[in-house]
Structure 1
Amino acid sequence: MPTKPAKIAPRYPTPALEKGLDILELLANHPAGLTKSEVARSLDRTVSEIFRMLVCLEERGYISQSRDGERYCLTLRLFKLAHEYPPTKRMITEALPIMQQATHELNQSCHLGILDGGHIVIIAQVDSPISPGFYVKAGAIVDLMHAATGHVILAHQTPEVTSRAVQIWCRQNNAQVPRDLAAHLTKIKRQGYEERESYQVNGIVNVSCPVFDDRGNAIAAMTVPFIQRIGDQTTPATARRVLKLATSLLSEAIGGVAKPHTSD
């Protein structure tokens, strides 16, 4: 029988929460369930120490008792919560061929980012088929306020999600909300895209469009860090057109809403 795993000392101890998580993790390894005594013994605790937590977890729907009332088992609540999270893996699978087509049309690189607290995480990236080029690598973590991807997602999210992300960013950076942020996000939402010089690199124009979920909220943004090559007739306007189609295709592919973009 699995025993309580060894743990690194937490920075900010939360005994009650840890007790509840220990129980959930333990029951996840026992599909047939465990009695109160078995749970207590496995976690090196007494029955009285875990009783109230078992009651709480049952009331919240995370665990349930067997018909005989002797054993506790996990319910499907955790499974449901996990599947309410943006379908990142599926989105990457659907996005890569669409992004590859876009990069070949534009001869520019392309990346896909999602919101993570006060940051943007780049979850997929495709290089330009020719050089020279510029790209943001997959796995990179980018400052929310220094990324076209971030502004596009914030502009097309619910007020609650946007407010929470901005508050997290302010707390992480010990900073105030940028003065022009509200007006900037309103403009992005009205036009349906972001196009502006890079916040971090000279000579690059970031063009970014949102990817929508089934409720019409942005769960990601696809961005081209556009560089103008000598003799190349491709322009940021070309990138806008290609990205609008690409993000509409991706939104549809993941079961989202392919919103019509405002005409240029």
Structure 2
Amino acid sequence: MEASAAKPKRGPETEDRYRAPALDKGLDILELLSEQPRGLTRGEIVKAMGRGPSEIYRMLERLVARDYVSRSAEGDRYALTMKLFMLGHRHPPVRRLVARALPLMDEFAREAMQSCHLVVPDRSASIVVAQATCPGNWEFGIRVGTPIDLFGTGSGRTLLAFRDPHPSGHAAIEWQSDAIRAKLSAIEDELDECRTLGYRIGASRQIRGVDDISVPILSESYAIAVLTCPYIQRIDGKEQPEATYVLALLKDIAGRLSLS
């Protein structure tokens, strides 16, 4: 099972070059509310941002009017709507990949008797964009829309093993940081093994008793996504496919989704 990732940091050079205070203010509010599942009052938002009440009020009203933020019935608490999530899923490449992957993932879940999820890279992090649950009266999975850490999860490390070594734009700045270079160096042997094998199997770094089986979906030799099954071994004596068979199923799906 894979836990939430820390929010990617913006590069200081990008922040300082072209400033748009009103836009920054709105984005700051959205990022603040994204970390608050129960929302915040206007006073709490003002305090957290260190800005004047009137400017925060005007920005909140615009975000409410555009349906990025909702106001509670009592009118004193603000929370994110699903609009950002829906906009993200309108991104054509992701939408096409999910549309192709979901039927295959559902078929996998039925045959493997395990859940699986699809993860795509998002700068120096990644996000779950699709999930399939196994049939029966129990399941174990991860919610769509969950951000996950690249370094602390099986999906993330598989993305790292097959990442494009020549990122562009803002990603290039992030990947050149000393902190990320040090983290990559510390796990380079594991990433080399993953590249050699073409997949990764390892104990979950969050949940005891779960083995993450991850296979990359490739464009040429770089990962555009990763399929992961959080494999659970039953102890009640009921038959289930072995991990090797589950891996073979995932590899077949990844091969059908990969771009030559």
Q: Partner of 2:221 in structure 1? A: 216
Query: 1:145 and 1:13 mapped to 2: Cα distance?
Result: 25
> What is the aligned counterpart of 1:229 among 228, 234, 244?
234
Q: Partner of 1:246 in structure 2? A: 253
Q: Partner of 1:95 in structure 2? A: 101
Q: Cα offset for 1:173?
A: 7.7
Query: 1:167 and 1:208 mapped to 2: Cα distance?
Result: 27
Q: Indicate the RMSD between aligned Cα atoms, in angstroms.
A: 3.3
Encode CA deviations 1:116-149: one digit per residue, 9 max, x unaligned: 1221100111111124321011100111111111
Q: Structure 1 residue 144 and structure 2 residue 150: aligned?
A: yes
- Letter of the aligned partner of 2:165 in structure 1? P
Q: Is the 8 A contact 2:202 2:212 kept in 1?
A: yes
Aligned CA distance change for structure 1 residues 168 and 14 (closer, same or farther; 3 Å): closer
Query: 1:187 and 1:166 mapped to 2: Cα distance?
Result: 24
Aligned CA distance change for structure 1 residues 148 and 133 (closer, same or farther; 3 Å): same
Larger radius of gyration: 1
Q: Is the 8 A contact 2:214 2:228 kept in 1?
A: yes
Q: Structure 1 residue 129 and structure 2 residue 135: aligned?
A: yes
Aligned 1:1-264 pairs, distance under 5 A: 16=18, 18=20, 87-161=93-167, 168=174, 176-177=182-183, 179-213=185-219, 215-230=220-235, 231=237, 232-251=239-258, 256-257=259-260
Aligned CA distance change for structure 1 residues 210 and 86 (closer, same or farther; 3 Å): farther
What's the % identity of the aligned pairs?
29
Query: What secondary structure sits across from 1:196 in the alignment?
Result: strand
TM norm structure 2: 0.60
- Letter of the aligned partner of 2:133 in structure 1? D
Query: 2:184 and 2:16 mapped to 1: Cα distance?
Result: 34
Query: 2:171 and 2:154 mapped to 1: Cα distance?
Result: 15
Encode CA deviations 1:97-125: one digit per residue, 9 max, x unaligned: 01001111111001000111221100111
Encode CA deviations 1:132-179: one digit per residue, 9 max, x unaligned: 3210111001111111111112212222249x9698489698994155
Q: Partner of 1:55 in structure 2? A: none
Encode CA deviations 1:36-78: one digit per residue, 9 max, x unaligned: xxxxxxxxxxxxxxxxxxxxxxxxxxxxxxxxxxxxxxxxxxx
Aligned CA distance change for structure 1 residues 233 and 148 (closer, same or farther; 3 Å): same
Q: Is the 8 A contact 2:212 2:230 kept in 1?
A: yes
Q: Cα offset for 1:212?
A: 1.2
Query: 1:159 and 1:15 mapped to 2: Cα distance?
Result: 26
- Letter of the aligned partner of 1:223 in structure 2? T
Unaligned runs of 5+ in 2: 1-11, 24-90
Unaligned runs of 5+ in 1: 1-10, 22-84, 258-264
Query: 1:188 and 1:13 mapped to 2: Cα distance?
Result: 36
TM norm structure 1: 0.59
Q: Count residues in correspondence.
A: 177
